[in-house]
Structure formats: C-alpha cells, structure tokens
Amino acid sequence: MRIGVFICECGTNIAATVMTQKVADAALALRDVYHSESIQYTCSDPGQRTVMAAVQKHNLDRVVIAACSPRMHETTFRRTVAKAGVNPFMMEMVNIREHCSWIHDDTDEATEKAIDLMAMGVAKVREEVPLFTSKVPVTSEVLVIGGGVAGIQAALDIADAGIPVTLVEREPTLGGNMARLDKTFPTLDCSSCILTPRMVEVKHNQDIRLIVNAEVEAVRGYIGNFEADIRKKATCVDEEKCTGCYICVEKCPSKAPDEFNAGVGESKAISIPLPQAVPLVASLRKEHCRRYIKGKCGVCEKVCPADAIDYEQEDRIFTDKFGAIVVATGYELFDWKTAYPNLGGGHYPDVITAMQYERMLSASGPTEGHIRRPSDGAEPRNIVFISCVGSRDESIGRPFCCNVGCMYLAKQAILTKEHIPDSQSYIFYMDMRAVGKDYEQFYRRAQRDAGAIYLRGRVGKIYPLDGKLMVMGADTLSGQQLEVAADLVVLATGFTASDGAAELAQRLNIPYDQFDFLSESHPKLRPVETTTGGIFLAGTCQGPKDIPDTVAQASAAAAKVIGLVSRDEMETSPMVAEVNHMRCIGCWKCIEVCPYKAIEKQKLRDGRQVAIIIESLCQGCGICNVACPPSVVSLRGYTDNQLISEVVEVLR
C-alpha cells in the first residue's frame, strides 16, 4: 500500500491560515504514506500534472488530496488519478478550505485541524478497495406524463431529436389549463391560437404516440430502463372510428357539468371538451349517462354515423419500456369556497373564479365571449377583482404566491374594458408582482389604458344589497375602509398541485413538498432533475409558474432527456450497497428499509435465500447498511471499516 498526500494551498485561500507544508510534513509521518507535498493550485492543469507525475514516480496506489470541498472537485481529482493509473475510487478528498481555512483565523488551530482532517483521509483511503463503474443499456423511448403546454413542449422537443415519445394525458384532450385561457399576458396573444397548432403537431408527429384518457398506474425499473403500466380508461367510444362530428353530443339527453368550462354552462354525458380538441374524439362519462344510471338509453349509439360507440369497452393496460420520464402533470386551481366564507363561500352566484371569467371572455366559450352575470345574465358594469384568494395566506396554510395572479388580473381588466367599454374594474391586491419581461409595462397599461382602479388591501367581506354585491375591504395606502358596489366579483384563486400528484410521486419514487408540488433535485443547479435518476420535471407540477417559465422548463427537461437517451449505455456509480452472501441471514430488514426497491431475494445454489442489490437501482444512501442485523450489507465508499477508521484516527 503506497499512499500519496497532496496539500493544496489554493493560492492564499488555504495557505493564509493553514501551514500547508507543515500538514505535508505531518503526512509523511503516517503509516503507508510514501509521498507528500504542498501544491499552489492543485486543480490547475500544472497542479494536476504534479499529482500525476508524483503518482507515477513514487508508484502510489492511493491518493489523498486536502483541498476544497469534495462537492467542488471530487470528480476532477478522480479523473486526475485515473489518468495516472490509480483507481479513481482510491482517491479521498479532504476539505481544508470551506471547513477549515475559511472559517478559522488562528493559524495554529487551523493547521492542527487540517492535520487531523488529512490524517482522517489517510485512514479512510487505507480501507478503500478499487471500484469499477458498470454500464447499463439505455432504452431510447421516453414517457411524458401530462399533455398541457409543458408536456406538449417537452414531447415535441424530444421527438424533434428523433427520439420516440409516449405522451400520456389523463383528460380526453391535450391542452391542459392553457387551452382554457382566452388570451395570455403580456402580449395578449390568443391562447388557442398559439397552443392548438402545437397540439395538432403532437398528433401528427410520427415519433409521438399520444394516449389520452390514460394514467400511469405503476412504474418499475431505473434510469435508462423504466417499465411503466399505463391504464387507458374506457370511454365507450372507439377513437379510431370517431370523427368528432358532434352528432352524439347534440342528441345526448343526459346533462353533465362542464368541467372544461369551469362550470360555466352545461355539458352532456357524451362530449368533446372543446372544438379544437386533440384528438377530436367524443368520450362518455358513465357517472352522468342515463344508460348507466337508469339502465336505458342508447341514443348516441343509434345516431353515431361512424359506428364508434362501444358500451362494452373496457380499460386497457399498456406496458412499455422507457429510458426517461418527464413529469408534466400541471396544477389545479384552489377550491376557495370552504376556506373563505367571508367571500360568500360560493353562495352568491355572481362571485366567480378568474378561470370562469376567462371562459366567459373566450369567444369559443359557453357565452361566446360575452361577459354575463350568472345570476341574471345581465352585462356587469362594476367588476371587482380580488387577488391572492388562497395564495400568500398563512391563516389557511397556503403561504406561497401563485406567481401569475397579479398579471392575469391585469390582463382580465384590460380585456374587460375591450368587451365592455363603459365598465369599471377595481382590483384589490396585496403587493404588485410584475417581475417578468414586459410585465411592469403591462400592469401600467391596465391602469392607464383600461382605467383599472388598484386598491391595496385585503377584502374582508362580501354581502348582497339591492341586487349588487357590496365588497368591503381596506385600502392600506389611504388607510381607509372602503365599500365597492359590484355587479360581478372575480376571484384570483391560487394554484394547488394537480389531483393525485403525491400518489404519482410515490409511484415514481420522487420527492414532493408539503403542498404536493414535486421537488427538483437542486433549486439552482438541477432545476428540472428529480433526485431519482432519469425522471425530470416540467411546468407547474414543480410549483406555480407562468407559461414562459413552464415552456422554458419543459425545453430544459427535454434537453436533459435527449442527452440521457441519446447514449446506448450509461455508467452507474459503483458506490452502492453490496451484500456478503455467505453471511446473509435472510431477515429482509434491508428490503423493508430500501427507498428504491433496489434489494431483492435471490435463491442460491445451496437453496438459501439471500438479499441481492440491484446496482443500477441503488442510489447509495446506506440505510440498509445500518439496518442489517449481522452487518453484512455494506455501502461501498462508506463501509463500516472506513467510517470507524476515520473516527479512530481523529480521536487518536
């Protein structure tokens, strides 16, 4: 065993507080250390060459580098020693910068500590064994979950690289929430005009297989080699035959709530959510259908000219292999009614959500673009908008900002003025957050051009009076209480995670936060990755955001996916758990605690059942190592012996 120790001066970053030569001298006194030296900048090209030359000259087989954090340069120095012929996992980094020279001012104390840390590194590296990365093949097909604008963007970007994509959407059509919007801020682009062509592109792209009315039911496997079960729900309509002629919808006698239109207007039990639906296919909701409730009907089957109705249709399960998964499951709007009894709690028909208002504004919506009070169908004059309903409100446990409310209310105020020129918009807001490109100017435009009156304060109460809704609130800028008589009140409801997001996260083994938004691996440096390799996030499933950010994130996720699945095989880290089969007692404690289902039972030739680690699934957390009663599960790179040797050395 021949160990080399290199102490980095990092210019003066380390050398100003730590006497690096003294540390190097102390290293030479340690058992098995055959060479040590202090280097000015070890990570620089000449510094790395010094290390490589010393390794070769002194025939070193293990290296300790005392420098900055291993989180900074561990990969760098693994490569360096590998180039010199040392197994890259026989290099141990010791942190004498962030954890020593930068946080102490006493040179003696810092030097003493650096010597201790270096000696711990030497003790640990002595216990190291050569490790080798292994290669696993990568499946090229990609699964995208969610067909809103994020999923559409990701699927198209990935397919543009010639990679096959399966896009799974829970609803009967692509489009998600964006398809319900009338126009988008700050350009007032018509939402359908920019989105529906993308939806059609998905449909016609030969590399994309679109499965609507479907959900991902189970996911097995690991990065590069996932296997997913996709359940396609029965809709009583043969998608291959349906032409989207709408005859069944017109003739259907069963009324049903219109979810696409946020409850504005009514739909039928058999319906097509919107005229630009992709695919343009009807689907039947059994819970609202007379045939299934009362046992007799069959109108749609009789009138269908394409013979597409199939009441016997059953759910189907597809099972396929995927190399990577993009989760783009979007958001839902906060259900405000129980949380805000002071706003009427849903008892006043003329208090509506901004999404319902959006559907009224839309020319293809249920009111054909006319703004109507739900109570009497009259055109409103005074419209009060209320910000932050279910956002930034710790009293109901929702402290976060929805990121888009300020801007979409500005947009709706501008559109209101266009629809009803003699109307007056009032906007109660908490703080104006207009942080995107051109957003501030857009907000000014709502004030200047649309004449919207902004009132800074929360609304305390809404009550009806003489056919109007009296909105009582504070104007915190003038310090006065106000009352505005409104014909219509529009609530900017906040975002919640999409229904079932946490369950999906559990199926995928990816973390989520207390609000069920899915967690990225690192907020700055790994914003679209999850902590599970091969699974990526796009859009509002990760947290509230606007359309530009959603699309940017979707393209970023696509780029990551393309980089991953473009390779035929990939390297896996060897720093994973292993089991000493000779001594495994088959108690399966390790299987119980493994967060990644990376341990399985295997029958040996002598008939004994033992635990085996599936290396490509193991992420190297080491929970099993601690759980194992006879201590025969061992995490490579952090074995019991390695950690004990560090402890013993530092306390020597």
Partner 1 sequence: MNGETDRADGGAVNATDADRADLKLVAFLCNWCSYAGADMAGTSRMLQPSQVRIIRLPCTGRMDPLLVLKAFQEGADGVLVSGCHPGDCHYNDGNYYARRRLELLKRMLAVRGIEPERFQYTWVSASEGARWADVVQAFTTDIESLGRLGATVAGGGGG
Shortest distance, position 632 Cβ to partner 1, whole Å: 14
Residue 470 interacts with partner 1 (CB under 8 A)?
A: no
Which region among 46-54, 149-157, 244-252, 617-625 touches partner 1 (by CB under 8 A)? Answer: 617-625
Is the Cβ of residue 412 or residue 619 nearer to partner 1 in the bound state? 619
Residue 513 interacts with partner 1 (CB under 8 A)?
A: yes
Q: Which amino acid is at 55?
A: V
Cα dihedral 259, 263, 265, 271, rounded to 10, equals 10
Residue 69 interacts with partner 1 (CB under 8 A)?
A: yes
CA distance 96 to 108: 14
Is the Cβ of residue 249 or residue 627 nearer to partner 1 in the bound state? 627
- Measuring CA to CA, which residue among 36, 38, 32 is closest to residue 61? 32
- What lies within 8 Å, CB to CB, of 404 at 6+ separation is 495, 544, 545, 546
Interacting residue with partner 1 among 16, 76, 83, 98 (CB under 8 A): 98
Helix (H) or strand (E) holding 301, with range, is: helix 299-303
Shortest distance, position 416 Cβ to partner 1, whole Å: 42
Shortest distance, position 16 Cβ to partner 1, whole Å: 12
Residue 646 interacts with partner 1 (CB under 8 A)?
A: yes
Residue 651 interacts with partner 1 (CB under 8 A)?
A: yes
CA distance 370 to 416: 10
Shortest distance, position 512 Cβ to partner 1, whole Å: 9
- What lies within 8 Å, CB to CB, of 633 at 6+ separation is 577, 578, 579, 580, 590, 611, 613, 624, 625, 627
Shortest distance, position 616 Cβ to partner 1, whole Å: 16
Residue 622 interacts with partner 1 (CB under 8 A)?
A: yes
Kindly state the tokens that stand for 80: 């360096």
CA distance 70 to 94: 7
Residue 223 interacts with partner 1 (CB under 8 A)?
A: no
Is the Cβ of residue 562 or residue 593 nearer to partner 1 in the bound state? 593
- What lies within 8 Å, CB to CB, of 419 at 6+ separation is 361, 369, 370, 371
Shortest distance, position 585 Cβ to partner 1, whole Å: 18
Q: How many CB atoms lie within 10 A of CB 104?
A: 17
Residue 103 interacts with partner 1 (CB under 8 A)?
A: yes
- Measuring CA to CA, which residue among 196, 482, 467, 158 is closest to residue 324? 158
- What lies within 8 Å, CB to CB, of 524 at 6+ separation is none
Kindly state the tokens that stand for 638: 């952090």
Is the Cβ of residue 204 or residue 524 nearer to partner 1 in the bound state? 524
Residue 587 interacts with partner 1 (CB under 8 A)?
A: no
Residue 621 interacts with partner 1 (CB under 8 A)?
A: yes
Which region among 29-37, 157-165, 477-485, 615-623 touches partner 1 (by CB under 8 A)? Answer: 615-623
CA distance 275 to 291: 25
Q: How many CB atoms lie within 10 A of CB 207?
A: 16
Interacting residue with partner 1 among 514, 586, 603, 607 (CB under 8 A): 514
Residue 643 interacts with partner 1 (CB under 8 A)?
A: yes
Residue 627 interacts with partner 1 (CB under 8 A)?
A: yes
Shortest distance, position 363 Cβ to partner 1, whole Å: 45
Is the Cβ of residue 72 or residue 485 nearer to partner 1 in the bound state? 72
- Measuring CA to CA, which residue among 403, 273, 282, 331 is closest to residue 149? 331
Helix and strand tally (H, E) in the chain? 17, 34
Residue 650 interacts with partner 1 (CB under 8 A)?
A: yes
Q: How many CB atoms lie within 10 A of CB 449?
A: 12
* Contacts of partner 1 in 483-512 (CB under 8 A): 509, 511
Residue 245 interacts with partner 1 (CB under 8 A)?
A: no
Is the Cβ of residue 93 or residue 471 nearer to partner 1 in the bound state? 93
Cis peptide before 279 (omega within 30 of 0): yes
Kindly state the tokens that stand for 63: 């290296």
- Site size for partner 1 (CB under 8 A): 51
Which region among 34-42, 126-134, 295-303, 625-633 touches partner 1 (by CB under 8 A)? Answer: 625-633
Is the Cβ of residue 102 or residue 311 nearer to partner 1 in the bound state? 102
CA distance 592 to 582: 20
Residue 285 interacts with partner 1 (CB under 8 A)?
A: no
Calculate ∠ Cα 326-330-333, nearest 5°.
170
Shortest distance, position 625 Cβ to partner 1, whole Å: 6
- Measuring CA to CA, which residue among 160, 180, 176, 177 is closest to residue 168? 176
Residue 397 interacts with partner 1 (CB under 8 A)?
A: no
Shortest distance, position 286 Cβ to partner 1, whole Å: 37
Shortest distance, position 308 Cβ to partner 1, whole Å: 45
CA distance 651 to 120: 10
Residue 533 interacts with partner 1 (CB under 8 A)?
A: no
Interacting residue with partner 1 among 193, 293, 363, 644 (CB under 8 A): 644
CA distance 81 to 93: 12
The binding track of 104-143 with respect to partner 1, each residue x by CB under 8 A or -, is xxx--xx-xx--xx--x-----------------------
CA distance 211 to 143: 11
Is the Cβ of residue 26 or residue 277 nearer to partner 1 in the bound state? 26
Interacting residue with partner 1 among 41, 102, 318, 400 (CB under 8 A): 102
Compute CA distances 327 → 147, 194, 330, 554, 618, whole Å. Answer: 10, 22, 9, 10, 22
Interacting residue with partner 1 among 42, 48, 80, 95 (CB under 8 A): 95
Which region among 34-42, 176-184, 406-414, 635-643 touches partner 1 (by CB under 8 A)? Answer: 635-643
Is the Cβ of residue 559 or residue 623 nearer to partner 1 in the bound state? 623
Which region among 91-99, 133-141, 248-256, 537-545 touches partner 1 (by CB under 8 A)? Answer: 91-99
Which region among 191-199, 406-414, 478-486, 639-647 touches partner 1 (by CB under 8 A)? Answer: 639-647
Shortest distance, position 464 Cβ to partner 1, whole Å: 44
Shortest distance, position 116 Cβ to partner 1, whole Å: 6
Cβ contact 154:538 at 8 Å? yes
- Measuring CA to CA, which residue among 129, 88, 128, 134 is closest to residue 613? 134
Which region among 136-144, 360-368, 399-407, 591-599 touches partner 1 (by CB under 8 A)? Answer: 591-599
Burial class (CB in 10 A: 0-12, 13-18, 19+), 187: exposed
- Judged by the rule CB under 8 A, the positions of this chain that interact with partner 1 are 69-72, 95, 97-100, 102-106, 109-110, 112-113, 116-117, 120, 509, 511, 513-514, 519, 522, 531, 575, 593, 595-596, 619-623, 625-627, 635, 638, 640, 643-644, 646-648, 650-652
